[in-house]
Amino acid sequence: MRLLVVGRLNGQLATAVKMAMSAGAKVSHVETCEAATHALRAGQGADLMMVDYELDIAGLIAANEAERIRVPVVACGVAADPQRAAAAIRAGAKEFIPLPPDAELIAAVLSAVSEDDRPMVTRDASMQAVVALADQVAGSDASILITGESGVGKEVMARHLHQKSRRASKPFISVNCAAIPDNLLESELFGHEKGAFTGAVARRIGKFEEADGGTLLLDEISEMDARLQAKLLRALQERVIDRVGGNKPVKVDIRVLATSNRDLAQAVKDGTFREDLLYRLNVVNLRLPPLRERPGDIIALAEHFIKKYAAANAMPERPLSAVARQRLIGHRWPGNVRELENAMHRAVLLSSGPEIEEFAIRLPDGQPLAPAAPDAETARSASIAASAAAARGFVGQTVAAVEQQLIIDTLTHCFGNRTHAATILGISIRTLRNKLKEYSEAGVQVPAPQGPGANAA
């Protein structure tokens, strides 16, 4: 990663810089906040800034934001008291590193803030085939289009391609085309000259120039405005760009990768994406299968995330229980790897026993993963048997007793979640609560809510 150190290199800060370099960081240095913004504006890229907390951290972040430069800040200081450290965090710093420095702490902070620490983890044959193709073309300068659903790991694949290329020692720059408004994206990509528009107080180097010699990733390329697509096509064809407000072409030496979770061929038919640009970008297409189509990766990724978040939270690394593994494999993961990562982060925090049990693996609404669905024939046989048993069990009971049993059983199935149970039963939440109150007053045991998403009666 690229680290920009801001402040005077006294003894303790110089030691911290050496430790950061030992942890693999490429370090550059300026003494003032103004010099830091100037360096970033001029194209000196950085993934992280380590700033002396005696400097104006809030002003530095504001100056960078005004130039649409977003680099996370870690504050550092000698013999800092908690109040001053807290003030640095309130000013916008992501972390605080006390000096004298600790080598393990610096390495942990760099790893936590850096986005580079995302290795390609795969065991499934379908994904391994994609990785093999990626490795085959990584050494070329061909443009590559990486497609797949949201959360499958398209940016991780892009970084893998960069690391396997001859440009690995040069910058890897990523731009999310969907996250930047159209009127700002042109300046973000191509830069601008002083006075090009209101607020352009100085020349700004864009991402194309910042990535010179390395790799530029255009994330979610399908969201780019049609006018800007034409300018991008020229840059890809001629390897020159024009800064906004400039009159002199600038040569660039980059490799362009692009990602999309949409069907760009259909976008071409719809008239929202240029066909010639698609041909230029799609020299090689890498389609990443969704996680539900690569079940062999689920446990491998889960174990990777357990190790990652156990270390990040200073917690013991626990193995998955057998039932937890079954639940993980049985879930469809609509959010793909991103959803799995979040689920395992929660599981690491919620687990307390010797293993990570199935109830610790929860969905965003707090509900545990449902048991894996059986195959169709098994499910049909079980359904017939259950229906027959239920019919025999209802004989001789009153309607009120059957209703009570149905409500209690449904609530148990929903882990006490009143809202889910009411939806399944087809009654209002108010009616359900009234019934449960009636049962409780009669001495019937009512299942209690088991998660933050389960509404109490």
Band of residue 40 on the pLDDT scale cut at 50, 70, 90: confident
Six token digits for residue 113: 């803030």
Q: Give the pLDDT confidence score for residue 378 in this predicted structure.
A: 45
Q: Give the pLDDT confidence score for residue 68 in this predicted structure.
A: 73
Torsion of CA 217, 171, 335, 184, to 10 degrees: -50
Question: What is the residue extent of each domain of the chain?
Answer: 2-113, 128-287, 292-360, 394-441
% residues pLDDT > 70 (the chain):
90
78, 88 in Cβ contact below 8 A? Answer: no
State yes or no: pLDDT of 148 exceeds 50: yes
Q: Give the pLDDT confidence score for residue 115 in this predicted structure.
A: 54
Q: What is the pLDDT of residues 170-223, one digit of tens each?
A: 889 999 998 888 878 888 899 888 877 777 777 888 899 989 999 999 999 999
What is the CATH number assigned to the segment(s) 128-287? Answer: 3.40.50.300
Six token digits for residue 243: 């800064």
Phi and psi at residue 252, to the nearest 5° = -135, 145
Q: Give the pLDDT confidence score for residue 417 in this predicted structure.
A: 81
217's CB contacts (< 8 A; 6+ apart) are: 155, 158, 172, 173, 174, 175, 257, 258, 259
Q: E strands along 117-182, which residues?
A: 144-147, 172-176
Total Cβ atoms within 10 A of residue 198: 6
Q: Which pairing describes strands 250-251 and 240-241: parallel, antiparallel, or unpaired? A: antiparallel
Instruction: Say yes or no: do domains 2-113 and 128-287 share a fold.
Output: yes
What is the CATH number assigned to the segment(s) 292-360? Answer: 1.10.8.60
Q: Give the pLDDT confidence score for residue 394 in this predicted structure.
A: 56
Q: Average per-residue pLDDT in the chain?
A: 85
* CA pair distance 109, 80, nearest whole angstrom: 18
Q: Give the pLDDT confidence score for residue 254 in this predicted structure.
A: 94
Q: Give the pLDDT confidence score for residue 379 in this predicted structure.
A: 46
> CATH says 2-113 is which class?
alpha beta
Q: What is the pLDDT of residues 367-418, one digit of tens each?
A: 888 876 554 444 454 444 444 445 545 556 777 887 888 888 878 777 788 8
* CA pair distance 259, 280, nearest whole angstrom: 13
| CA dist 155 → 27, 119, 146 (Å) | 24, 11, 9
Predicted structure pTM score: 0.66
Q: Give the pLDDT confidence score for residue 192 in this predicted structure.
A: 86
Nearest to 301 by CA among 333, 277, 269: 333
Q: Which pairing describes strands 215-219 and 255-260: parallel, antiparallel, or unpaired? A: parallel
C-alpha 188: how far from chain center: 22
**Architecture of the domain defined by 394-441:** Orthogonal Bundle (1.10)
244-268: b or e for each residue (b if 16 or more CB lie within 10 Å)?
Answer: beeeeebebebbbbbbbbeebeebb
Q: Give the pLDDT confidence score for residue 2 in this predicted structure.
A: 82
Q: E strands along 376-426, which residues?
A: none
Q: Give the pLDDT confidence score for residue 256 in this predicted structure.
A: 96
391's CB contacts (< 8 A; 6+ apart) are: none
Band of residue 231 on the pLDDT scale cut at 50, 70, 90: very high
Six token digits for residue 186: 């042109």
Q: Give the pLDDT confidence score for residue 152 in this predicted structure.
A: 95
* CA pair distance 107, 444, nearest whole angstrom: 56
State yes or no: pLDDT of 279 exceeds 90: yes
Q: Give the pLDDT confidence score for residue 455 in this predicted structure.
A: 54
CA-based radius of gyration for the chain: 28
Single-letter residue type at 161:
L
Single-letter residue type at 404:
Q
2 has which bridge partners? 26
To which H or E segment does residue 343 belong?
helix 336-350
C-alpha 18: how far from chain center: 30
Which of 113-117, 294-298, 312-316, 444-448 has the least mean pLDDT?
113-117
* CA pair distance 65, 223, nearest whole angstrom: 23
| CA dist 322 → 113, 327, 342 (Å) | 33, 9, 20
Using DSSP's 3-state secondary structure scheme, residue 9 falls into coil
* CA pair distance 66, 64, nearest whole angstrom: 5
Q: Give the pLDDT confidence score for residue 453 in this predicted structure.
A: 44
Six token digits for residue 200: 């352009």
Q: Give the pLDDT confidence score for residue 450 in this predicted structure.
A: 64
Q: What is the pLDDT of residues 65-117, one digit of tens each?
A: 887 788 889 888 876 667 878 888 888 888 888 888 777 777 777 766 655 55
